[in-house]
Amino acid sequence: MDPIRKLTELVELVKKKPSSKLAVANGHDPHTIQATFKAAKENLVDVIIIGDKDKVLSLGSEYNLDTSAFDIIDNRDAKEAGCIARDMVRSKEADILMKGLMPTDVYMKLILDKNEGLLQKGNILSHVAVMEVPTYSKLLFVSDVAVIPLPDLNQKVSMLKYTIEVAHSFGIENPKAAIIAATEKVSDRMPATLDGATIAKMAARGQIKGAIIDGPLAIDIAINKEACDIKGFKSPINGEADILIFPNIETGNVFFKTITKLAGGSLAAMVVGASAPCILTSRADSEESKFYSIAMAALMGARDV
């Protein structure tokens, strides 16, 4: 498999695969309706929307969309709609869970519910985003920008392993992974640098496989070869990272939103660690982002991520 370099290439690959079933929790907002309609029409997924049927039909009329492309389960309560969608995934009536017009904390509680949730035993939930940036030559796989506020060392290792698996599914056989901090210098005053150094040593000793890993690295060293040359810094990443592991949610979230809102970037994103792909996008994310996220989840399919 050739490496996927553009999100449009992701879509073309998924079109060649059998359609998955997508259950959308409270899916009656414009961007979700438009994205799921496009995904259904392009045969990426079969769409089941659980939400306010009247709103779905009204939006279909407003945007000239044929809502017969959806199966619609009428439910006006956001939490109940979420439970129905989640339970369809648990019972294998659907393959992918997607958040519609629902607060993230409510959606995450559905996944994390001890009795009825989707969290696999021994796993943690994390979040992986795939970003296409006009000024970068390849896709960036980043974690965690939405779920874990302040990951400890073990959580960062899990985040890295999840992200490596996603990169592999995109055909990146040996991705370059940078453990991000504010500097390359290790200091006990900056815990993120200690974690970066520890993870790099773990990788060197074969405890983390499937990628070229270095840390701690500042963001310029991770993604800009010229910065490495100017600073005379030697790293196997050499300014060509495929994967960025952020030290905390603030750092990752600011990067994520800056790339999309100011730098013209496109993205796909999903929750990993659950028994099925779970799409988590912001209620304010674009139709395009939601569409690419559906394609990403369909690609991951039944993988244990």
pLDDT (0 to 100) of residue 302: 36
Same domain, 117 and 64: yes
pLDDT (0 to 100) of residue 304: 40
Mean pLDDT of 286-298: 93
- The candidate with the shortest Cα–Cα distance to 178, out of 125, 270, 246, is 246
Same domain, 138 and 158: yes
What tokens appear for 88 in the block?
């369809």
* pLDDT, mean over the chain: 94
Same domain, 183 and 221: yes
Task: Compute how many other C-beta atoms are within 10 angstroms of the C-beta atom of residue 54.
Answer: 12
pLDDT (0 to 100) of residue 103: 86
Q: Is pLDDT above 90 for 189?
A: yes
Same domain, 264 and 278: no
The residue segments making up the domain with residue 64 are: 1-123+273-305
Same domain, 132 and 261: yes
pLDDT (0 to 100) of residue 281: 80
CATH code (residue 175)? 3.40.718.10
Same domain, 159 and 57: no
Domain tally, the chain:
2
Whether 22 contacts 96, CB under 8 Å? yes
- Determine which of 21-25, 26-30, 67-71, 134-138 has the lowest per-residue pLDDT on average: 26-30
Same domain, 4 and 49: yes
Same domain, 27 and 155: no
Phi and psi at residue 182, to the nearest 5°: -80, -15
**C-alpha 70, offset from chain centre:** 24
- The candidate with the shortest Cα–Cα distance to 192, out of 166, 156, 167, 163, is 156
CATH code (residue 60)? 3.40.50.10950
pLDDT (0 to 100) of residue 305: 41
Same domain, 59 and 22: yes
Same domain, 83 and 210: no
Q: Is pLDDT above 60 for 303?
A: no
What tokens appear for 240 in the block?
């060509």
pLDDT tens for 231-280 read: 899 999 999 999 999 999 999 999 999 999 999 999 999 999 999 999 99
Cα gap 36→275, rounded to integer Å: 22
- Determine which of 103-107, 200-204, 211-215, 267-271 has the lowest per-residue pLDDT on average: 103-107
pLDDT (0 to 100) of residue 283: 63
pLDDT category, 172, cuts 50, 70, 90?
very high
pLDDT (0 to 100) of residue 181: 97
Buried/exposed 93-127: b ≥16 CB within 10 Å, e otherwise: ebbbbbbbbbeeeebbebbeeeeebbbeeebbbbb
Same domain, 293 and 200: no
Same domain, 3 and 44: yes
Alpha-carbon distance values, 285 to 194, 225, 280 (Å)? 34, 31, 10
